[in-house]
């Protein structure tokens, strides 16, 4: 995938805002370990200096998080089990590549212990709650990484995917999950779940952001990749299963899936029906067959030893899955390999020359209580459509596809190995142009009214500045807020954040907007303009002109000095 080259300046400011968002979000279960803020700010300061000197850093100032089974130098790698912790001497290669490009890692995120689960609740650090509805699961095992992105704390985050862990949390939190072809991203420095099928994945709020990160993580170079599977000319060909093969779905999910298929068809794609049976039969084999024995190979001896010592810090569901895998006979593995090969042949024959298979990412979205009542059954249901992807050596991308009952609904596009870029291109047809809003005051991250944006499902897109045509005044309001006024000549660039939110969210925000605030077009530093909060000129009588501070936060800091 072609990387973008637009750098993110002012890395120090972005780091400070990220730590403010961490505090404001009050979601400690998202993280296992955060790097010290002073250390991260110093790294950001170095990046700003290198940029100012003319160095090319395509990911400069991009903030990211890494799942807790990926090595980050200076932090323990725990895989969600404190007793397993070790201190890596160096970053995993994929982390090193991102940092070389200017990206900054904030810390390691919570996960289903030893990456065993699709629920995000199997951790001694606590269940990671969904970013939109805290009563529901975030999805696992890459739970913390997905929620850190959805809450606008980081630009992108890294997960891993064996059974769907890089896609299920994306669907539940309304973000993008790229599951690349196996081997495209190195897994050195990653604690294995099932080493032969593990993949490192990327979460981001948009496809371009995810693709940009993946481009810097991937190896070998594109010139060394095998040729793409050949396709005959014509429109995109999208495989879809008959409705009855999708099985039981949550209320409204079948209609949402059909709407996504219709959207692709309206964009010019050709839809063709296939038999989904080989995919779902293989999916059941990942945990019910002999392949789960590889999880024992990865960490089984450690788990046995810890159980003998009392089992402190072990999740009982994870421990049960891993220890039961110890006794699977070798002959079953060979039999399952033969069966899987036959199912893969059938599955690829069903796909034929289709460019992608479109599926719901999951059959439904359970609550925390539902998973607690049936941890194994809930997990098995969630993997119905995702479990077979890595077993069949396929690529996948999970993207948002609207909402059902106010919660995100997501779909996957699955295709042959090394068609990653093609899948992302097709997925663009499912994107709904976001509504954007620029804020400069009390709605900024960490400020008193930021919760109004988060409650509407808003996600931070970027930190920027306005064009130098505005003046800023401190208004006498409760809570305190500034008034932004367009003046043309004599104006200054003002610090701003751009947030993405659902179209209906903007309408709800506008109806609750008190005077003297008004919604207008705010011109940004790059010349683009988006809706944003402005102030009625009549409200400025007696208001202090604080333009010289360059932004609301700087003004507030001066009051504390």
Active site (catalytic) residues: 67, 141, 165
3-state DSSP assignment of residue 299:
helix
Rounded-to-integer distance, Cα 472 and Cα 486, Å: 9
CA 126 to chain centre: 19
Which burial class, exposed, middle or buried, applies to 221 when counting CB atoms under 10 A from its CB (0-12, 13-18, 19+)?
exposed
Sign, CA dihedral 508-457-370-27, equals negative
Q: Which residues does 236 contact at the CB level (< 8 Å), separation at least 6? A: 264, 268, 269, 270, 355, 356, 426, 429
Planar angle of CA 169, 173, 177, nearest 5 degrees: 50
Rounded-to-integer distance, Cα 249 and Cα 366, Å: 11
Beta pairing partners, 503: none
340 backbone dihedrals φ, ψ, rounded to 5° = -60, -40
Rounded-to-integer distance, Cα 297 and Cα 451, Å: 45
Q: How many CB atoms lie within 10 A of CB 521?
A: 12
Pairing of strands 356-360, 407-416: antiparallel
How many CA within 13 A on the CB side of residue 484? 31
Rounded-to-integer distance, Cα 273 and Cα 265, Å: 13
């Amino acid at each position: 995938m072609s990387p973008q080259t637009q750098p993110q300046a002012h890395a120090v400011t972005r780091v400070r805002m990220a730590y403010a968002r961490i505090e404001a979000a009050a979601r400690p279960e998202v993280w296992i370990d955060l790097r010290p803020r002073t250390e991260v700010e110093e790294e950001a300061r170095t990046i700003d200096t290198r940029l100012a000197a003319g160095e090319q850093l395509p990911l400069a100032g991009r903030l990211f998080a890494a799942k807790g089974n990926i090595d980050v130098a200076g932090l323990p790698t725990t895989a969600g089990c404190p007793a397993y912790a070790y201190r890596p001497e160096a970053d995993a290669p994929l982390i090193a590549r991102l940092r070389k490009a200017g990206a900054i890692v904030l810390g390691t995120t919570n996960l289903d212990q030893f990456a065993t689960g699709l629920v995000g609740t199997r951790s001694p650090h606590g269940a990671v709650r969904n970013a939109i509805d805290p009563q529901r699961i975030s999805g696992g095992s890459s739970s913390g990484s997905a929620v850190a992105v959805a809450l606008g704390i980081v630009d992108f985050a890294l997960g891993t995917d064996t059974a769907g862990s890089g896609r299920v949390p994306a669907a539940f939190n309304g973000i993008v999950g790229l599951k690349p072809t196996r081997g495209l991203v190195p897994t050195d420095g990653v604690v294995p779940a099932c080493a032969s099928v593990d993949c490192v994945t990327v979460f981001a709020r948009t496809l371009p952001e995810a693709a940009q990160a993946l481009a810097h993580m991937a190896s070998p170079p594109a010139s060394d990749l095998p040729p793409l599977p050949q396709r005959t000319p014509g429109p995109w060909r999208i495989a879809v299963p008959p409705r009855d093969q999708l099985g039981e779905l949550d209320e409204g999910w079948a209609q949402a899936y059909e709407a996504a298929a219709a959207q692709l068809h309206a964009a010019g794609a050709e839809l063709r029906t296939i038999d989904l049976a080989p995919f779902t039969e293989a999916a059941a084999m990942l945990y019910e067959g002999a392949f789960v024995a590889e999880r024992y190979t990865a960490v089984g001896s450690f788990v046995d030893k810890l159980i003998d010592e009392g089992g402190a810090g072990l999740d009982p569901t994870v421990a049960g899955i891993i220890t039961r895998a110890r006794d699977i006979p070798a002959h079953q593995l060979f039999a399952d390999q033969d069966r899987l090969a036959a199912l893969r042949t059938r599955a690829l024959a069903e796909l034929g020359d289709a460019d992608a298979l479109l599926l719901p990412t999951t059959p439904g979205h359970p609550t925390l209580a539902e998973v607690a009542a049936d941890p194994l059954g809930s997990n098995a249901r969630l993997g119905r459509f995702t479990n077979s992807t890595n077993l069949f050596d396929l690529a996948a991308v999970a993207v948002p596809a609207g909402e059902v009952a106010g919660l995100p609904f997501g779909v996957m596009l699955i295709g042959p190995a090394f068609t990653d870029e093609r899948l992302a291109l097709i997925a663009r047809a499912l994107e709904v142009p976001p509504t954007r809003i620029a804020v400069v005051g009390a709605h900024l991250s960490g400020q008193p009214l930021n919760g109004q944006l988060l409650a509407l499902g808003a996600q931070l897109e970027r930190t920027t500045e306005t064009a130098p045509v505005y003046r800023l005044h401190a208004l006498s309001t409760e809570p305190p807020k500034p008034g932004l006024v367009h003046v043309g000549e004599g104006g200054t660039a003002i610090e701003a954040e751009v947030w993405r939110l659902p179209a209906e969210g903007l309408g709800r925000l506008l109806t609750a907007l008190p005077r003297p605030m008004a919604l207008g077009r705010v011109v940004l530093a790059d010349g683009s303009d988006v809706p944003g909060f402005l102030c009625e000129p009549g409200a400025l009588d007696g208001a202090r002109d604080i333009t010289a501070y360059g932004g609301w936060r700087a003004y507030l800091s001066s009051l504390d000095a």
